[in-house]
Amino acid sequence: MSDRVAVILASRDPEVLRMGLMYARNAVKNEWMRDVRLYLFGPSEVQVSTDPGLREQIRTIIEEGTRPVACKYCSDEHSVSEALAELGCEIEYVGQPISQSIQDGYVPMVW
């Protein structure tokens, strides 16, 4: 059984995103998993960049040591790359890193 997870936030629904972020944060904080990777993809990037509550959750996660990676293609398409970078997210194309994470044994959890 894997003790590594790749949390992929793709939803636009703020409640779904809150739950995904809460899981990612608690998995790190409570050491439920040895390693947690957090990816923002598509509609979630717009929601995270504009929702004050989600922005605060992202700031907290970053302060606690997990740096989210946002998809450059999607964030550029929606003109939110700068806002996400200012928030502290890494901006890069995520297709290959997500695929590599899965090949490396990370369990994908898509929210």
Q: Are 69 and 41 in contact (CB under 8 A)?
A: no
pTM of the shown model = 0.94
Tens digit of each residue's pLDDT (9 = 90 or more) over 34-50: 999 999 999 999 999 99
pLDDT band at 6 (very low <50, low <70, confident <90, very high): very high
pLDDT of residue 27: 97
pLDDT of residue 2: 83
List, in order of start, the domains of the chain with CATH numbers.
Answer: 4-110 (3.40.1260.10)
Handedness of CA 86, 83, 54, 104 (dihedral sign): negative
